[in-house]
Amino acid sequence: MEQIVECKSGLRDKLASGKDYYEIRLESIGGLGANLCGKMLGELGVKYLDVNSSNFSSYGSEKTGTPVKGFIRYCRKEKDIRVHYPVVEPDVLVIFHQALLKDKSVWKGCNKDTAVIIALEPGQEQADEIGCDAAEVYGLEAQRIAMETHSRINVVMLGAVLKIMGVEDITVGEQICKDTLGKKYPDALKGNLEGLRRGYEEVRQIKVKQSGVKKDINTGINRLSEWGYDNAPIGGINPRFGNTVIADLSPSRQGYIPLFIKEKCINCGLCHSTCPDMVFQFEKGQYKGRDMMVNKGLDYYHCKGCLRCVDVCPVNALVTGIEAEHSHKEYFMPNKELLRMPDYYEESGPDGYITSESYLTEKRMEGGEV
Amino acid sequence: MKEQIMEYASGNEMAAIAVKQIGYDLMGYYPITPSTQIAENLDIMRANGETDLVMVAAEGEHSAAGICYGASVAGGRVINATSANGLLYAIEQLPVQSGTRYPMVMNVVCRTVSGPLSIKGDHSDIMFILNAGWPILFASTVQQVYDFNIIALKLAEQVRLPVVVAYDGFFTSHQKGRCYRFKDDKDVRDYIGEKQEKYPFLDLNNPITVGSYMNEPDIINNRYQLHLAMEKAGELLPELFASFKELSGRGYGMVNGADCDDADSVLVLLGSSYDTSLDAIEEMRGEGKRVGVATLNVLRPFPSRELHNLIGKADNIMVADRQDSYGAAGGNLSLEVRATMQRYGCKANIKSVVYGLGGKDFFKEDAKAMLDMVKDSSTPDFSYYGVTPGMESEEEDSPLFEPVTREKTSINETKVEKVIDYGDTTENGEAVKVIGGSLNGVTAMPGRIAPGHGACPGCGIPVNLNLLLRGIEDPVVFLFQTGCGMIVTTAYPKTSFKVPYVHNLFQNGAATLSGVAEICYRKQQKGEIPPGDIIFIMVSGDGGLDIGMGSAIGTALRGHRLLIFEYDNGGYMNTGYQLSYSTPLGARSSTSHIGKEQYGKTFFHKDMPKIMAATGIPYVATVAESNPADFIKKAAKAAYYAKTTGTAYVKAISACPLNWNDKPATERKVIEAAVNSCYFPLYEVEQGVTRLSYDPEKTGKKIPVKDWLSMMGRTKHLQKEEYKDVVERLQKEIDRRYNELKARAK
């Protein structure tokens, strides 16, 4: 594993070179705490780094599994931060989750000068594919560190970002954690400080199998006509009924899927009654010689991995599986009511809507349950 | 100058800090994005004992404004905060407050007015209240939000008018940055001074009448007094800004500008875009261009003279409006700038654009483009900036599904039969009986809602909607009130609905669907659409039947034939879980925090089925996903009454893993526990007769409510000894309600 030799993307160097703003973009998924990470990075600037700073998140971000973007800007202390739009060309791009590597919007505005930090899966040593030609790519096994230190991935990533920003002394990071987490949760604080430190120490330059600007990571995304003032039905009317079906919600899953053991199934329909995502496909058939509706399989495009079905199945015909171990999903059956297969499926998480952070932030400080 | 300390905070946080430091008496509010955080932050301070502000969570913005009015009449110092449709819902109260001359302060965190529903920022809300008789300060930075909140109350009390502090939703309300506040609350209070009341309302020895019945010839004099007060505000504000500068070192004018003196082109805009334009101006000046930018810190009284002095010398003026006064060839800002310039004989070339609606980002490059556009003779006087025509695709956009027709949903599984007296006779000797509806059988029902919706993993809303729909074999037409159920299914350009669907705002769902139903009957009668029963379903949740209760009750009293379905997740979950009236006692929410001074929500959960039953509608039922067979049967019954008799109301308790803070996989067990604790008893009221559907006491499954509360993160703290009394009170209330229910039940 390579060590960091030279960090060209340091905050001070870039600001000293006359750059107006030093900008960081966090790419995450709701529930990983990127919003709080962004806030700590921002607050750190004005409080301990002797620069001016500001931060905000993409709004509509708090639903579990939704893609979230965080934006942090730094500038010289004397300057006011007057721009209020998202970070377009980040100096540092921080990716909290592997599933995001495939998302084209994640790589927008990145170039060879962008430093990329990727949260790696446990045991992963290099990144498969990145969507820009960045020369500096860093990684760390953030989830593993978080689990081992009983901290959260956001503090681990915070540590990594501080390292890449060229912050020489991790104590400022510790200070901001203490300020944010307060004295209220001493146990959580201890773990988080450890996670922060390990993030700072363990981030390293990594190899990338393939890099470069991707044209169409989500292929076919523009195949349908795009609505504007010339062609959109008036009043925001939407006649494309049921078209959320083209959403591929697998990025919402947290590593687990329900597995179907058809031989055990008694076709009671309880799974169908508890599934929020219309995953179970029942068709007319025979069970034990009787005509009835029979469970044919699962539409994994729409399964968010909540595992409600596993919990209610009275005969263990549905069990929890680790998704990575099941690249071929048995009894995968796309929605049976479709007239035709969609031209493409669009990877997406749950829809965002603005939420407030206070209750959730507090919850996450406590270590969070969900 | 007074001592100040640095904060790293957002506009909403700074507004809350100002409110706390001023020491207001009362906040009447109703949560609406993006202003909600003000109340949330104050609630945290309350819970921690940092403020003794009385906070009243109204059931809607109209009531919130009413609470504020009453509190200010009674002599309290009063604060409110709202946005967009909340402001419009409250609008009737605004002229009452100003016309009767009661000072208060309201933060308007600007957001797009619906519909289609948008939660992001523009100025379409604030411009609706230009005529309300409230002075309006517009803050373009987080620092100004704090400063203007302090100045606003002083102004309000000196001219005896209510004052608005407006700022950009999200751009200013949510972005955090460096700013300063006074260290000592006393400095803030000294600046504002003691409240003087010439006619104290609660002085019983000197009774006064507020709100006379007043026609001509008097009302014009009352209005003239208001006009004079507004003029006075215009004279006072520069003084207040000056005295505030002595205190803080931060000076403000009625207007604000950069590089306007020698500019040949000036850009005028409001809010955070002004801030962003400063960077653009700096760059353009570097390129040798003579450009400037200006904004207004005060919208009412409109600072005409000051604005003319600032920009009147420019040859070209571009005014960028973040809203449109449709049909008037510009938004209100540009119309008023044009009028001002004409008044002073300014001959500049003035153009305007509408930009940035619905929170569309405003980049530095946009400011530059606008300044170039104004000098270009081909630019029209008024145009839209940043609209896109769309792109037609070569490929055919053929439907993904067949329409869900009557034939397809008539699966003949759940059948409703009218019976005469089947053991527990109803008042008029009739009842209906549902047969079939097995969980296996109803899997044949085609989906009226497509998968791919964006609810959180494990969300109860789609589960409940599906159970309801599987028991209904007639075609359905939906109306959804605002809420998670609507947000996650209809994010443009996608929709999950495969049947007719309309959204309307919280307050008005049931009324709107009444109108839909009437026209359907009429068209059927005239033979314009095919005959046949259609079930009209109004879906509400996320506390939508707090603010929408009046409309629902009105519909029930009229007896409109529709089904009101409530998924009750016990909070305003779509906006980050603020308390609703059906949040359990003691539960934590983002407006009922836990701290040394507060234990969570302070009042009991609303008994909506009982309220609906009191309207005398033919069918009321409670359902839970833990009893799915019962759920499906009740759905069929409700649909039967909704098509034949009158309003039916069905309420489901609906899991919210995100905000209940529990595990998505085990939500059905949590729901089951709510039922078994009798927090959510299953029953129906059919034609006036109450029947228990399930009695956990009889099955030996009854559990104390404490056990249910232990299953959710939002109520876990109630297990502690210090909250014993809260749990006891809740248990007692549940017992009381359940015993009453049993006494009523046949």
Residue B345 lies in a domain: yes
Domain co-membership, B444 together with B462: yes
Q: Are residues B350 and B375 in the same domain?
A: yes
Based on the domain organization, do B230 and B282 belong to the same domain?
no
Does a structural domain hold residue B739?
A: no
> Which tokens belong to A107?
């790589």
DSSP 3-state of B434? strand
Confidence band of A62 (pLDDT split at 50, 70, 90): very low
Mean pLDDT of B285-296: 98
Which tens digits make up the pLDDT trace of B184-237?
999 999 999 999 999 999 999 999 999 999 999 999 999 999 999 999 999 999
Q: For A164-190, what is the mean pLDDT? A: 85
Q: What is the pLDDT of residue A210?
A: 78
The pLDDT-based confidence of A6 (bands split at 50, 70, 90) is: very low
- A209: nearest Cα among A285, A125, A279: A125
**Per-residue pLDDT tens for A93-113?**
999 988 788 778 889 999 999
A52 contacts in chain B (CB < 8 Å): 177-178
How far apart are alpha carbons B415 and A352 in whole angstroms?
A: 39
What is the SS3 assignment for B178?
strand
Fold of A247-341: Alpha-Beta Plaits (3.30.70)
B602: its two tokens = 């302070």
* Same structural domain, B551 and B689: yes
Residue B353's contacts (CB-CB under 8 Å, 6 or more residues apart) are B318, B319, B320, B321, B370, B373, B382, B383, B384, B385
Q: Does residue B428 register a pLDDT over 80?
A: no
Residue in B6, B395, B661 closest to A223 by CB: B395
**B304 assigned to some structural domain:** yes
pLDDT in tens, B374-394: 999 999 999 999 999 998 876
Distance CA B671, CA B117 (A): 31
The pLDDT value given to residue A97: 87
Q: Name the residue among A39, A242, A269 with its Cβ closest to that of B176.
A: A39
Is B96 part of any domain?
yes
- Fold match between domain A11-217+355-365 and domain A247-341: no
* Residues 6 or more apart in contact with residue A320 via CB below 8 angstroms: A256, A257, A258, A259, A307, A310
Per-residue confidence at A365, pLDDT binned at 50, 70, 90?
very low
Segment A20-33 mean pLDDT: 88
Q: What is the dihedral of CA A178, A179, A185, A189, to 10 degrees?
A: -20
Question: What architecture is the A11-217+355-365 domain classified under in CATH?
Answer: 3-Layer(aba) Sandwich (3.40)
Q: Is B153 a residue whose pLDDT tops 90? A: yes
B281/B238 same-domain check = no
Q: Which two tokens stand for residue B684?
A: 């129906």
CA A77 to chain centre: 32
Q: Is A316 exposed, middle or buried (0-12, 13-18, 19+ CB in 10 A)?
A: exposed
Which residue of chain B comes nearest to A234, CA vs CA? Answer: B116
What gap in Å lies between CA B462 and CA B446, rounded to an integer?
A: 14
At A346 the pLDDT is 79
- Cα B390 versus chain centre, distance: 31
Considering B652, B675, B695, which residue would you say is the last residue of a domain?
B695
**Cα–Cα nearest to A157, from A252, A65, A90, A92:** A92
- Nearest-Cα residue of chain A relative to residue B457: A306
Q: Tens digits of per-residue pLDDT, B229-249?
A: 999 999 999 999 999 999 999
Claim to verify: residue B88 and residue B160 sit in the same structural domain: yes
Cis peptide before B664 (omega within 30 of 0): no
pLDDT tens for B476-489 read: 999 999 999 999 99
Asked whether the predicted pLDDT for residue B422 surpasses 90, the reply is: no
Residue A203 pLDDT greater than 70, yes or no:
yes
Residue B316 token pair? 């070209």
Domain co-membership, B230 together with B283 = no
SS3 at position B309 = helix
User: What are the extents of the domains in chain A?
Assistant: 11-217+355-365, 247-341
To the nearest whole angstrom, how far is the Cα of A207 from the nearest Cα of chain B? 34
Does A210 reach chain B within 8 Å, measured CB to CB? Answer: no
Residue after which a domain boundary falls, among B384, B405, B431:
B384
Contact A358 B389 (CB under 8 A): no
**Structure confidence at residue A359 (pLDDT):** 52
B-chain residues within 8 Å CB-CB of A39?
A: 176
Q: What is the largest CA-CA distance in chain A?
A: 81
Would you say residue B368 lies in a domain?
A: yes
- Whether residue B73 is contained in a domain is answered as yes
Are B271 and B322 in contact by the 8 Å Cβ rule? The answer is: yes
Q: Checking DSSP bridges between strand B136-139 and strand B298-300, what pairing results, if any?
A: antiparallel
The answer to whether A235 contacts B456, with C-beta atoms less than 8 Å apart, is: no
The average confidence (pLDDT) of chain B is 96
Distance from CA of A204 to the nearest CA of B (A): 30
* pLDDT interval class at A129 (50, 70, 90): confident
The SS3 call for residue A246 is helix
Q: Are B331 and B324 in contact (CB under 8 A)?
A: yes
Give residue A5's pLDDT. Answer: 36
Query: In angstroms, what separates the C-alpha of A87 from chain B's closest C-alpha?
Result: 11
- Does the beta carbon of A232 lie under 8 angstroms from any beta carbon of chain B? yes
Query: How far is C-alpha B549 from the geometric centre of its chain's CA atoms?
Result: 15
The model's pLDDT over B698-742, given as tens digits with 9 standing for 90+, comes to 999 999 999 999 999 999 999 999 999 999 999 999 999 999 999
Pick the residue of A240, A267, A273 with the most B CBs within 10 A to test the interface with B by mutation: A273
CA distances from B385 to A247, B114, B172, B320, B348 (A): 31, 20, 22, 9, 21
Q: A278–B401: do the CB atoms touch at under 8 Å?
A: no
B227 and B175 inside one domain = yes
Supply the DSSP symbol for B663.
Answer: -
Shortest alpha-carbon distance between residue B487 and chain A (Å): 7
Listed range (A24-38, A311-325, B346-360, B456-470) with the worst mean pLDDT: A24-38
At residue A57 the predicted structure's pLDDT band, cuts being 50, 70 and 90, is: confident
Same domain? B524 vs B499: yes
Residues belonging to chain A? 370
Where residue B380 sits, what CATH number does that domain have?
3.40.50.920
Are B348 and B440 in the same domain? Answer: no
Would you call A359 and B593 a contact, using CB atoms and an 8 Å cutoff?
yes
The per-residue pLDDT for B638 is: 98
Whether residue B507 lies inside any domain: the answer is yes
DSSP B480: E
Amino acid B574: pLDDT: 87
Asked if the model's pLDDT at residue A352 lies above 50, the reply is no
- Per mean pLDDT, which range of A5-19, A305-319, B209-223, B687-701 is the poorest? A5-19
pLDDT tens per residue across span A290-310: 999 999 999 999 999 999 999
Question: To the nearest 5 percent, what fractions of chain B are helix, strand and coil?
Answer: 40, 20, 40
Q: Do A369 and B446 touch (CB under 8 A)?
A: no
pTM of the complete model beyond 0.80 = yes
List the CATH number of the domain containing B159. Answer: 3.40.50.970
CB nearest A229 (choices: B8, B387, B492): B387
Q: Are B120 and B169 in contact (CB under 8 A)?
A: yes
What's the rounded Cα separation, in Å, for the pair A46 and B9?
Answer: 11
Mean of the pLDDT values across residues B496-513?
96
> Number of folded domains in chain B?
3
Share of residues in chain B with pLDDT > 90 (%): 95
- Phi and psi of B604, rounded to 5°? -70, 160
Residue in A46, A228, A339 closest to B8 by CB: A46
Mean pLDDT of B106-135: 96
What Cα–Cα distance (Å) separates residue A149 from each residue in A155, A199, A254, B498, B505? 11, 11, 20, 48, 46
Summarize pLDDT for B593-650 with one digit per residue, the tens. Answer: 999 999 999 999 999 999 999 999 999 999 999 999 999 999 999 999 999 999 999 9
Q: Could you tell me how many CB contacts below 8 A there are between chain A and chain B?
A: 342
Report pLDDT digits (tens) over B432-451.
899 999 999 999 999 999 99
| DSSP class per residue in B263-297 | -SEEEE--THHHHHHHHHHHHHHHTT--EEEEEES
d(CA B392, CA B394): 7
What pLDDT, on a 0 to 100 scale, did the predictor assign at position A220?
A: 40
DSSP strand E in B183-224: where?
A: none
**Segments forming the whole domain that contains residue B90:** 4-195+216-248
- Cis ω on the peptide bond leading into residue A334 (within 30° of 0)? no
Residue where a domain stops, chosen among B248, B266, B292 = B248
Q: Please check whether residues B264 and B331 belong to one and the same domain.
A: yes
**Coil, strand or helix: which one is B450?**
coil
Please state, as a whole number, how many other Cβ atoms lie within 10 Å of the Cβ of residue A2.
Answer: 9
Same domain, B221 and B273: no
Which residue in the set B439, B447, B490 is minimally distant from A278, CB to CB? B447
Per the structure block, which two tokens stand in for B147? 């400063």
Give the number of C-alpha atoms closer than 13 A to the C-alpha of residue B134, restricted to the C-beta side: 30
Residue A285 has pLDDT above 90, yes or no: yes
Q: What is the pLDDT of residue A354?
A: 40
